[in-house]
Amino acid sequence: MKLKWYGHASFLVTGSDSVTIITDPYTPEISGYLPIPDSPDFVMISSDNDSFHCRADLIPGQPTVINALRLAQNEGTLTEKGVVFQAIQAMEALDHQFHDPDQNGMYRFTVDGISVGHMGDIGNPLSEEQMQFFAGVDVLLALAGGHPTIALDDLFAVIQRTQPKIVVPMHFRTLRYKPRNTFWIQSFLNYFEPDDVDFACDSEISISKENLPEKTRVLILTHAC
């Protein structure tokens, strides 16, 4: 499986069978990241009204769009092209400093035997049900910028509880990200020993089930867009 970070909460996941999934595409003009150039099979969005997480309409081609919030509000599970998508409801920060909080969905799916979890746009401590939802996940795409998403203390509690093999930070401040309301990555890295952190020095990596670490490691990607 290949994992590529475009920026913010948007990734490209590519399976060995060439099935491709893009997560939470953003609006380039307001996020500061460049347009996403790839044409995937699926686009997974955590909500339908957040311009930092829902811009499936800007993705080239004719992908199948899966709304995690809508999926969570209905059956909760969907299988397409052999990929099982699961979702659970979440909320933005109830004490959101910039606008009234919106609902969104967190989600997970499995590619090449590797389970990938995406934290959507949640802004509160996870409930027991939400913790259970991420149990056993191999790769956690984690909201690492603090408010208006989950507080870093609460995020670290999620990581300690669910014990993912790899944590890939997202949704943190970068030189390209226009809003200045999130932390730089160092605030998140302060929770970990330096020896437990890897820097890919690239926007894309390959992950295999056989090479997953035994103990949780943090992997920092460079944004591609």
Does the predicted TM-score (pTM) go above 0.85? yes
Domains of the chain by residue range: 2-220
**Contact, 170 vs 141, CB < 8 A?**
yes
How many Cα atoms within 13 Å fall on the side-chain side of residue 62? 0
> Which stretches within 74-151 are classed as H helix?
128-133
Distance CA 158, CA 155 (A): 5
Give the pLDDT of residue 102: 74
CA neighbor of 10 nearest in space, from 167, 115, 21, 19: 21
In this structure, the strands spanning 2-7 and 10-14 are antiparallel
Consecutive sets of 10 residues in the chain, 225 residues long: mean pLDDT of each? 98 97 97 97 94 95 97 94 96 64 90 97 95 97 95 98 98 94 96 97 97 97 97
Residue at token pair 């004490």: 95
In this structure, the strands spanning 64-67 and 114-118 are unpaired
Distances (CA, A) of 115 to 15, 85, 97, 118, 222: 12, 10, 33, 10, 22
In this structure, the strands spanning 64-67 and 42-45 are parallel
Distance CA 114, CA 1 (A): 8
Check whether domain 2-220 has CATH 3.60.15.10, yes or no: yes
Give the pLDDT of residue 64: 97
- Counting every residue written for the chain, the total comes to 225
Give the pLDDT of residue 210: 95
Give the pLDDT of residue 75: 87
